[in-house]
Amino acid sequence: MERITTVAAMRAFGRVSRAAGRRIGLVPTMGALHRGHLSLIERARSECDAVVVSIYVNPLQFGPKEDFRAYPRDLERDQGLLRSSGTDALFVPEHEEIHVPGHRTRVEVQGMQDVLCGRSRPGHFRGVATVVAKLFAIVRPDIACFGEKDAQQLRIIRRMALDLHDETQIISCPTVREEDGLALSSRNTYLTPEERRAAPVLYRALRSAAASGRAGETDAARLVSLARDTIAREPLARLDYVEAVDGETLEPVATAGAGTLLAVAAWFGRARLIDNISF
Ligand code: PAF
């Protein structure tokens, strides 16, 4: 595995790969890798000849009161996992490589960035779209893999690629879960043992609402309140939102059906966890 720290060297890797006719798959991450990330790498591996994983904790996507400093970082461990995952290149740039001195440019996906998680994390998706656009420009991947757990991020990046005429194919990969249903997330490491035991309530709530949906309940407000009631019974959960939205545009829906996305965010202690289910 090549370890690349500069934009120039990353571009050179891309140039050489493309000249050799190799398809490039990118898996953008912020490190603290878990089985969810490894499943994205496996998917990229299955479709490409050269797999690039980026590890970059992007300050632009953290609010002033968020966990940028505390975000888990363990490059040694991550590198070990990547070496045995078949990754060809690890891109670990310094801040000034990605956000060059004096940088002024931001990428906004208007509307979609302000709903759901965007309400309590203003500026977050602008930071995500900006860094992902930069990574696409540097690596010029054929495909890029993102987890369905970050449903809003995935849709925003899809829309951004479409709008910017970026030819990168955006691949969505299923959420990887613990046995009790908790979606894997680097932020799960913040959970105390009690909070960890409580956290699967999110997926339980989504599943029971989705089961009602599949059994014929189409009133989105009723499905949302079903999920909300389940979460309200868990004292360690502090709900941020549960919403039923269109699975592509993220606009609220009154009638749920095929293509509806039910999304949730809640705090367990200092961990803000998200999850979703599609109908
Ligand atoms: O999902 C993440 O880890 C990040 O938001 C991403 C896509 C790597 C951009 O920093």
Residue 271, phi then psi, degrees to nearest 5 = -95, 125
Distance (Å) from CA 279 to ligand 1 centroid: 25
Q: Which of 173, 203, 236 is the last residue of a domain?
A: 173
Sorting pLDDT into bands at 50, 70 and 90, what band is 68?
A: very high
Do 225 and 218 meet the contact criterion of CB atoms below 8 Å apart?
no
* CATH number of the domain where residue 24 is located: 3.40.50.620
Query: In this predicted structure, what is the pLDDT of residue 279?
Result: 85
Distance (Å) from CA 222 to ligand 1 centroid: 32
Percent of the chain exceeding pLDDT 70 equals 100
**Of 37, 71, 128, best ligand 1 pocket probe by most atoms within 8 Å of the beta carbon:** 128
Give the mean pLDDT of 235-259.
97
What pTM was computed for the model? 0.97
Query: In this predicted structure, what is the pLDDT of residue 20?
Result: 98
Distance (Å) from CA 227 to ligand 1 centroid: 27
Nearest CA to ligand 1 atom 8: 29
Among residues 85, 128, 87, 61, the alpha carbon closest in space to that of 4 is found at 87
Give the mean pLDDT of 145-170.
98
Q: How would you classify the pairing of strands 143-147 and 24-29? A: parallel
Q: Which of 147, 173, 199 is the last residue of a domain?
A: 173
Among residues 64, 63, 62, the alpha carbon closest in space to that of 30 is found at 62
Q: How many CA atoms lie within 13 A of 237 on its CB side?
A: 27
Same domain, 71 and 148: yes
Nearest CA to ligand 1 atom 2: 29
Q: Which atom of ligand 1 is nearest to the CA of 61?
A: 10
Sorting pLDDT into bands at 50, 70 and 90, what band is 2?
A: very high
Query: In this predicted structure, what is the pLDDT of residue 78?
Result: 98
Q: Which of 173, 203, 235 is the last residue of a domain?
A: 173
Query: In this predicted structure, what is the pLDDT of residue 272?
Result: 98
pLDDT tens per residue across span 90-146:
999 999 999 999 999 999 999 999 999 999 999 999 999 999 999 999 999 999 999
Same domain, 23 and 96: yes
Same domain, 164 and 205: no
**Dihedral Cα 262, 266, 272, 278, nearest 10 deg:** -10
Distance (Å) from CA 30 to ligand 1 centroid: 6
Residues classed as catalytic: 37
Same domain, 130 and 201: no
Domain range enclosing 51: 2-173
Same domain, 255 and 136: no
Residues with CB under 6 A from ligand 1: 28-30, 58, 61, 128, 131-132, 150, 153
Average pLDDT over the chain, rounded to an integer: 98
Give the mean pLDDT of 158-182.
98
Query: In this predicted structure, what is the pLDDT of residue 27?
Result: 99
Give the mean pLDDT of 242-262.
96
The reply to whether 178 falls in a domain is no
Query: In this predicted structure, what is the pLDDT of residue 207?
Result: 98
Per-residue pLDDT for 153 more than 90?
yes
Same domain, 133 and 204: no
Q: Which atom of ligand 1 is nearest to the CA of 57?
A: 10
Same domain, 91 and 169: yes
The reply to whether 179 falls in a domain is no
Structurally, the chain folds into a number of domains equal to 2
Q: Which atom of ligand 1 is nearest to the CA of 28?
A: 8
* CATH number of the domain where residue 232 is located: 3.30.1300.10
Same domain, 16 and 70: yes
Same domain, 154 and 91: yes
